[in-house]
Amino acid sequence: MIRTVTARHIACPGTKIISSPLLKSERKKEIKNEKIISLFLVISTFIVTISCYAQTSYTNDGLTLSVTEEFADKVLVKTPENDEKGILFSVSEKESVEAAKAEGYPWESAGWLFDISCISEDEMHKLRCDDIPGYNIFAEDTDGNYYIYMQPTDVRVVREDYNDAAALERWTAANRWAHSVRETFITENEDLTSIKFSYTSLDAYLARIMYTDDIKYTVSTTEFGRQQPNGIKASDYIAPLTHDVIYTSARDEETPDGEYLVLDFPDINLRFDFFFEEGKENYIRQVWFNGEHEMLYKAEFTDKNIKASEIMNDFYHEIVLRNSLGYTPDNMVGTWAEKIAGRGFIEITESEEPGKYHIMINWSASAWQKAVWEMTAEATGNGAELRYENGKHSILTWQSEDNMTEEEIYTNGSGTFNLLSTFELVWFDETEHAADGSVFINAGM
């Protein structure tokens, strides 16, 4: 551990100098005077800086923690080496430590203000899944490590006289400084960037969905009913709901109306309702003990475009597609028309080779031009899903009834076709996303 006292310089206001022609001797004298004045200003600024901004800095494992001059002699800083919990800095209030010793208390954590620890990404995942009070993951570095600010959940102040208001105010002031340390710690250590997590029950259960395999849950709406994830990777959907967001309690009267998606944990009799009402897509209701208890959250995302219920609905539909409601690829054979404009048609026929299907797609752009795709798809074994890797895409243009040109766009497109029901099909074009947002209905129904 290295303890150094540093001084931070402050900039002095500039002085505007108006020059005029001078004799050579006068100019030399002026230059000499300017050097003396400049040296005086530098010395004066340095003295002022030391008296106002001097601080004590501690280092551990290449990181720096600074204590302002006001608290430099009021706190004790430990910098353990190779701590098994990853602790880099442990800070306590000196007055409480000394008071505890004087009273003969065998209380090692007397006056404890905070610890700063470094942990791996895997350790961060485990920590977020547990209900551990008092910790805050506040930064990450360029090597993928995470930094925790741990504070006590009980009062660690010790005083000879607890009626001494001035003595208690010194404890309060030390805590105010302690709470500001995270921001200055990130500023002082250039490899760190700030991150923001919330620490509610909702956060913990979302983390368990992402990072554990033994949590049982279902997702449901009135559209397709209750669905089990069946091995779906949840992190792609759930991660945006847990990073750079704060969940706060909302008043019961703010509860939205209408439809909602249910994230249910049946083994522990707990569920979360994600509301779809326009303007209230970031309200989530926690319900437990057979509906005897409820709590309403409001999500405040750094990215204002995020809507929690929309993300959960996308996750739900991914599960539905994978589960495929019991349908098989044979249920996809036939003609499918784009639901809204009706300009796109998908024709699926069985190939002579077992397990493969020939697909033709025609999508009219105008009376004289249309897009055409052709591919051979194969059943993936995951319900009613077909996958292709050999998609050929062309644009056909008619100059006249007998004159047509074909422009080849690509020949190695990839994507999937999935059945939502016996009358709805979706096409995921991975090459150009041509059908994003489109649903095709069975043209024979």
Model pTM?
A: 0.63
Final residue before a domain boundary, out of 277, 309, 324: 324
Residues 217, 179 share a domain: no
- What rounded mean pLDDT belongs to the chain? 86
For residue 115, being part of any structural domain is answered with yes
Does 373 map to a domain?
Answer: yes
Handedness of CA 310, 316, 318, 320 (dihedral sign): negative
- Asked which of 291, 324, 357 is the last residue of a domain, the reply is 324
Residue 86: enclosing H or E segment and its boundaries?
A: none
Residue 36 lies in a domain: no
Residue 203 counted as domain residue: no
125 near 207, Cβ under 8 Å? yes
Residue 186 confidence (pLDDT): 97
Domain end (from 194, 225, 244): 194
**Residue 29 resides in a domain:** no
Tell me how crowded residue 139 is: count the other CB atoms within 10 A of its CB. Answer: 22
275 and 185 both lie in a single domain: no
Q: Please tell me whether residues 103 and 184 are part of one structural domain.
A: yes
**Counting beta carbons within 10 angstroms of the beta carbon of residue 420, is it exposed (0 to 12), middle (13 to 18) or buried (19 or more)?**
buried
* Coil, helix or strand at residue 350: strand
Q: Confirm whether 389 is domain-assigned.
A: yes
Does 258 share its domain with 285? yes
Total domains present in the chain = 3
- Say yes or no: 182 and 218 in one domain: no
Same domain, 293 and 350: no
pLDDT digits (tens, 9 = 90+) for 376-432: 999 887 678 899 999 999 999 999 888 999 999 999 999 999 887 778 899 999 999
169 with 145, same domain? Answer: yes
Condensed to tens digits (0 to 9), the pLDDT of residues 105-148 reads 867 789 999 999 999 999 999 999 987 788 999 999 999 999 99
- How far apart (Å, rounded) are the C-alpha atoms in residues 374 and 391? 6
Is the domain of 119 the same as that of 85? yes
Q: Which domain holds residue 302?
A: 211-324
Place of tokens 């993928």: 144
Q: Does residue 394 sit within a domain?
A: yes
Is pLDDT at 19 greater than 70 in this prediction? no
What sign for the dihedral angle of Cα 283, 286, 287, 292?
negative
- 222 and 278 in a common domain: yes
Query: Do 99 and 150 have their domain in common?
Result: yes
pLDDT digits (tens, 9 = 90+) for 250-270: 999 999 999 999 999 999 999
- Decide if 22 is inside a domain: no
